[in-house]
Amino acid sequence: MSDLQKIPATIVTGFLGAGKTTLVRHLMQHANGRRIAIIVNEFGSLGIDGDTLKNCGIPGCEEENIVELANGCLCCTVADDFLPTIQALIDRPNPPEHILIETSGLALPKPLIKAFNWPGIRSRVTVDGVVTVVDGPAVAEGRFADDPEAVAAQRAADPSLDHDNPLAEVYEDQINAADLVVVNKADLLDAAALSALRAQIATQLPRAVKVVATREGALEPTVLLGINAAAEDDLAARPSHHDAEDGAHEHDDFDSMLLVMPEFASPEALMTRLQAAAEAHDILRLKGFVRIAGKKARLAVQGVGRRFRHSYDTDWVDSREGHLVVIGETHMDREAIAKMILG
Ligand SMILES: Nc1nc2c(ncn2[C@@H]2O[C@H](COP(=O)(O)OP(=O)(O)OP(=O)(O)O)[C@@H](O)[C@H]2O)c(=O)[nH]1
Domains and CATH numbers, the chain: 3-237 (3.40.50.300), 254-342 (3.30.1220.10)
- Give residue-wise pLDDT tens across range 28-37: 999 988 999 9
Measuring from atom 26 of ligand 1, which residue has the nearest CA?
Answer: 302
pLDDT mean over 79-107: 92
Q: Is 133 helix (H, G, I), strand (E, B) or coil?
A: strand
Predicted local confidence at residue 162, as pLDDT: 64
Distances (CA, A) of 324 to 29, 32, 257, 265: 27, 34, 8, 17
Other CB atoms within a 10 A radius of the CB of residue 160 amount to: 6
Q: Is 20 helix (H, G, I), strand (E, B) or coil?
A: helix
Predicted local confidence at residue 78, as pLDDT: 81
Tell which atom from ligand 1 comes closest to the C-alpha of 49: 23
- Give residue-wise pLDDT tens across range 103-162: 999 989 999 999 999 998 999 999 999 999 999 999 999 988 876 666 667 667 766 666
Lowest mean pLDDT across 4-13, 21-30, 172-181, 261-270? 4-13
pTM across the whole model: 0.93
- pLDDT bucket at 87, cuts 50 / 70 / 90: very high
4 CB-near residues (< 8 Å, 6+ apart): none
Tell which atom from ligand 1 comes closest to the C-alpha of 218: 31
Query: What rounded mean pLDDT belongs to the chain?
Result: 90
Other CB atoms within a 10 A radius of the CB of residue 37 amount to: 23
pLDDT at 55 over 90: no
pLDDT at 48 over 90: no
Distances (CA, A) of 232 to 75, 209, 282: 15, 16, 36
CB–CB of 124/7 below 8 Å?
A: yes
Q: What is the largest CA-CA distance in the chain?
A: 60
CA 125 to mean position of chain CA atoms: 22
CB–CB of 326/273 below 8 Å?
A: no
The answer to whether the complex's ipTM is over 0.90 is: yes
Pocket perturbation via mutation, ligand 1, pick of 56, 75, 304 by most ligand atoms within 8 A of CB: 304
Predicted local confidence at residue 122, as pLDDT: 95
Q: Which residue has the higher pLDDT, 170 or 152?
A: 170
Tell which atom from ligand 1 comes closest to the C-alpha of 16: 25
Predicted local confidence at residue 318, as pLDDT: 78
Measuring from atom 32 of ligand 1, which residue has the nearest CA?
Answer: 185
pLDDT mean over 193-207: 95
CB–CB of 293/263 below 8 Å?
A: yes
